[in-house]
């Protein structure tokens, strides 16, 4: 469970599938030497319906619960192998909206 760091953006692949990449900031349970909490930034891949629903119902700063599988893959750029570790999302739980979105909703009412 963590906060969405950016607005989700859905892209359509050449085979007709939809995909979005999101990053979720997950706070650590302890403080560092400076007395501050740190966070881990987890890259997540969402496909098709889950990608579209996340785009439609979430915004930067919202809290999400993520269930999925950890995946490591590689690709080559200029004959150099690059590795990526990410979560392939099976399920997203929309926990809460950001303060900014709540204020926007109140103004519209």
73-108 residue pLDDT tens: 999 999 999 999 999 999 999 998 766 555 554 455
User: Number of folded domains in the chain?
Assistant: 1
Highest-pLDDT range among 9-13, 64-68, 94-98: 64-68
CA–CA gap between residue 100 and residue 68 (Å, rounded)? 28
Q: Is the pTM of this model over 0.85?
A: no
| Boundaries of domain holding 45 | 2-108
CATH number at residue 36: 2.40.50.140
- Residue 97 confidence (pLDDT): 79
CB contact set of 10 (below 8 Å; sequence gap of 6+) = 18, 19, 20, 51, 52, 55
């Amino acid at each position: 469970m963590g906060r969405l760091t950016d607005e989700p953006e859905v892209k359509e692949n050449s085979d007709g599938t939809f995909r979005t990449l999101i990053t979720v900031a997950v706070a650590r349970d302890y403080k560092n030497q400076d007395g501050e909490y740190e966070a881990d930034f987890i890259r997540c891949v969402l496909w098709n319906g889950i990608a579209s629903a996340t785009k439609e119902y979430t915004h930067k700063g919202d809290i999400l619960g993520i269930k999925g599988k950890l995946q490591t893959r590689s690709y080559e750029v200029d004959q150099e192998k690059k590795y990526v570790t990410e979560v392939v999302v099976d399920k997203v739980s929309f926990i809460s909206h950001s303060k900014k979105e709540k204020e926007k909703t109140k103004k519209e009412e």
